[in-house]
């Protein structure tokens, strides 16, 4: 009798993982747009919006990151796309967190670093999300 | 993982800020050294760890003694000595500007640890030493249901109180221990947001005008420019009509006002901006010129532009007046009182300044009462420590000085809003007939 476990060759993201991951995208895009608005108008409310959107983005992507890590640990093969997806999301989260500290500088002191970081983080999050949705974990269903 | 990352980054950020050295270069006088602005990822902060006084006392110079004349007050801030020697204490805690950003939420939580948990009294307490033995055995609530009272001034029979939202007037007869009725409003004061809520107060020598210090609504415009209308100014208010006009502008947080005896000149203690380094920007005392602009928010210490402010205004930067005398960055000067000969020869000519103590600095400063000697009506020479020991060598902070008031009978009254105490410092012996001040 064959003792090999049944393999799920393709296991997509868990729906809740997908919500967390995709949810972070508009939040970080919002950060970018609000920072653009603040830099062109000097209207401080845009910066307030941006700071809170950033917190939201960090919460969503933070839990997505945690989930990605668990998926990665449980996977048989900890390389390739699952690993790359995790690292990309990790980089996005770290830079996003740094950007939260930058946003906490008063008034224009956060500029232009806040805007530059917002662009980088938005790109990384979109890339991580695309990669995340095209990632298939191979491994045993326990 | 996420937690350890957070910790890792927090410590990284702390390292980033800790790299900036904090040389204790003397930063007092008319020409303080101003380093370049700097700011790590996190602002340097050391919050006072409150401790009890127990048998300990603040330290005063030899030949002086200090006693607590009232304890268990409800956030005492400023005092006034009435003609019969009674002391009125304003107690309250104002502010409460809405938290607009994640930073406001976190900073509010951290800063609250360094202050008294007692609820502000919103009242005036009268202290009386009827027999003149230095013990203030009489204590009555003179007035209550005020709104964070701070500045006090007596003009004849009119006692003016600067609440955080209005200037009000009580009728006062010498010897009174309780207000005869509710106060009359002289005028509303700017109170929207009230990021800096304290309203300092003093009266012109002839009693015609009242001067009210109104602090900015932000550290450096992070609540937006529109929030700064009528802020960071000293108002001149007509005592009769309540009509007001800006007397001087650009004073970030004028926390104490006083009239110089003899000259009638208005002086202010002003708290300057944070988060551009441990040695920027010095808090100061200055004579306040009518119509003068003192820099905030566009510039500091004269024409040093603050690049955090948008839109910029080079004309305002250029027009910024340099203040008279730097006290050091982040000391948080909240009290100002001109001395008299009865305070003893060494402290006869000059001003006492109460320093609440720093938050935005890894090496704490302030937490004491200093004396700035004057000569010829101007500050002359380095400040002298007058009351210290509020921050113990064990790292515990037992008190934080706020208002200081010279009692013409020869005493300095110091409010302490951490231990909720009023302290009284007196020369041990009756001071020798003091050398008259060289100028008034």
Substitution target in A105, A106, A112 with the highest count of B β-carbons within 10 Å is A106
Q: Is the separation of the CB atoms in A2 and A137 below 8 Å?
A: no
Nearest CA in chain A to B274: A106
Interface of B with A (CB under 8 A): 1-2, 5-6, 9, 13, 39, 41-42, 100-103, 218-225, 275, 307-311
Query: Cα–Cα distance between B45 and B357 in angstroms, integer?
Result: 12
Pick B307's closest partner by Cβ from A94, A101, A108.
Answer: A108
Residue in the block written with tokens 């800006």: B246
Residues near B236 by beta carbon (within 8 Å), at least 6 away in sequence: B209, B210, B211, B244, B245, B246, B247
| Assigned fold of B44-427 | Neuraminidase (2.120.10)
DSSP character at residue B434: P
Beta strands in chain A (DSSP E): 7-11, 137-140
Pick A44's closest partner by Cβ from B9, B223, B307.
Answer: B223
Interface of A with B (CB under 8 A): 42-45, 47-48, 51-52, 54-55, 62, 65-66, 69, 93-94, 97-98, 100-109
- B219/A106 CB distance under 8 A: yes
Pick A107's closest partner by Cβ from B1, B9, B221.
Answer: B221
Considering chain B, what percentage of its residues have pLDDT values greater than 70? 91
Strand pairing report for B421-427 and B411-416: antiparallel
3-class SS of residue B87: strand
- A108/B42 CB distance under 8 A: no
Query: Cα–Cα distance between B264 and B160 in angstroms, integer?
Result: 19
* Domain range summary for chain A, segments of one domain joined by +: 25-135
Query: Cα–Cα distance between B377 and B257 in angstroms, integer?
Result: 16
- B386 closest CA partner among B429, B424, B439: B424
What is the predicted pLDDT for the residue at B16? 40
One digit per residue, the tens of pLDDT, for chain A of length 142 reads 445 555 555 677 899 999 999 999 999 999 999 999 999 999 999 999 999 999 999 999 999 999 999 988 888 777 788 899 999 999 999 999 999 999 999 999 999 999 999 999 999 999 999 999 987 766 544 4
Pick A106's closest partner by Cβ from B5, B42, B220.
Answer: B220
Nearest CA in chain B to A65: B2
Beta strands in B135-279 (DSSP E): 138-143, 151-155, 158-162, 166-171, 184-188, 199-203, 209-214, 233-238, 244-249, 253-259, 266-271
Helices (H), B241-369: 314-319
Pick A106's closest partner by Cβ from B9, B222, B225.
Answer: B222
Shortest CA gap B41–chain A (Å):
6
- B101/A106 CB distance under 8 A: no
Quote the ipTM score: 0.85
What is the predicted pLDDT for the residue at B320? 98
Q: Is the separation of the CB atoms in B268 and B200 below 8 Å?
A: yes
DSSP character at residue B279: T
Cis peptide before B311 (omega within 30 of 0): yes
Q: Is the separation of the CB atoms in B396 and B51 below 8 Å?
A: yes
DSSP character at residue B388: B
Query: Cα–Cα distance between B303 and B134 in angstroms, integer?
Result: 48
Low-confidence ranges of chain B (pLDDT < 70): 1-26, 429-440
Q: Is the pTM of this model over 0.95?
A: no
């Amino acid at each position: 009798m064959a003792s090999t476990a049944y393999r799920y060759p393709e296991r997509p993201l868990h729906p809740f993982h997908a919500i967390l991951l995709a949810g972070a995208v508009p939040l970080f895009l919002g950060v970018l747009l609000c920072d653009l608005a603040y830099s062109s108008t000097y209207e401080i409310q845009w910066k307030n919006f941006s700071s809170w959107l950033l917190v939201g983005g960090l919460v969503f992507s933070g839990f997505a990151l945690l989930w990605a890590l668990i998926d990665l640990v449980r996977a048989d093969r900890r390389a390739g796309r699952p690993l790359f997806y995790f690292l990309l999301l990790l980089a996005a989260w770290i830079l996003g967190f740094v950007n939260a500290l930058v946003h906490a500088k008063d008034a224009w002191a956060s500029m232009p670093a806040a805007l530059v970081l917002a662009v980088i983080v938005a790109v990384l999050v979109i890339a991580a999300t695309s990669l995340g949705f095209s990632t298939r974990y191979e491994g045993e269903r326990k | 993982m996420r937690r350890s990352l957070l910790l890792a980054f927090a410590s990284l950020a702390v390292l980033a800020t800790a790299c900036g050295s904090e040389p204790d270069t003397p930063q007092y006088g008319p020409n303080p050294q101003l380093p370049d602005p700097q700011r790590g990822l996190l602002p340097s902060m050391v919050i006072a760890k409150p401790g009890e006084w127990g048998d300990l006392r603040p330290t005063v110079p030899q030949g002086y003694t200090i006693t607590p004349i009232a304890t268990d007050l409800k956030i005492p801030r400023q005092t006034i000595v009435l003609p019969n020697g009674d002391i009125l204490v304003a107690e309250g805690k104002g502010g409460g500007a809405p938290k607009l950003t994640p930073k406001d939420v976190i900073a509010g939580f951290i800063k609250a640890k360094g202050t008294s948990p007692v609820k502000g009294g919103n009242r005036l307490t009268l202290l009386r030493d009827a027999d003149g033995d230095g013990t203030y055995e009489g204590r009555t609530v003179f007035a209550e249901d005020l709104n964070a009272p701070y500045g006090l001034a007596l003009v004849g029979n009119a006692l003016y109180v600067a609440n955080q939202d209005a200037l009000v007037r009580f009728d006062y007869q010498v010897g009174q221990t309780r207000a005869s009725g509710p106060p009359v409003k002289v005028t509303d004061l700017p109170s929207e947001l009230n990021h800096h809520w304290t309203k300092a107060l003093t009266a012109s020598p002839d009693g015609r005008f009242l001067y009210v210090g109104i602090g900015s609504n932000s550290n450096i415009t992070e609540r937006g420019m529109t929030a700064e209308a009528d802020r960071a100014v000293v108002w001149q208010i007509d005592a009769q009509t309540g009509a007001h006009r800006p007397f001087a502008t650009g004073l970030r947080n004028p926390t104490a006002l006083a009239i110089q005896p003899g000259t009638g000149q208005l002086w202010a203690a002003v708290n300057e901006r944070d988060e551009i380094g441990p040695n920027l920007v010095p808090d100061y005392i200055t004579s306040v010129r009518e119509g003068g602009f003192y820099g905030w928010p566009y510039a500091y210490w004269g024409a040093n532009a603050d690049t955090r402010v948008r839109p910029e205004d080079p004309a305002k930067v250029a027009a910024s007046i340099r203040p008279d005398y730097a006290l050091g960055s982040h000391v948080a000067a909240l009290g100002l009182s001109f001395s008299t000969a009865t305070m003893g020869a060494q402290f006869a000519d000059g001003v006492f300044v109460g320093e609440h103590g720093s938050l935005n600095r890894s090496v704490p400063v302030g937490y004491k009462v200093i004396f700035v000697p004057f000569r010829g009506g101007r500050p002359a020479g380095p400040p002298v420590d007058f009351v210290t020991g509020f921050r113990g060598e064990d790292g515990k902070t037992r008190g934080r000085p706020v208002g200081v008031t010279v009692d013409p009978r020869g005493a300095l009254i110091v409010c302490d809003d951490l231990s909720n105490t009023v302290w009284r410092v007196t020369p041990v012996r009756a001071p020798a007939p003091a050398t008259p001040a060289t100028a008034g």
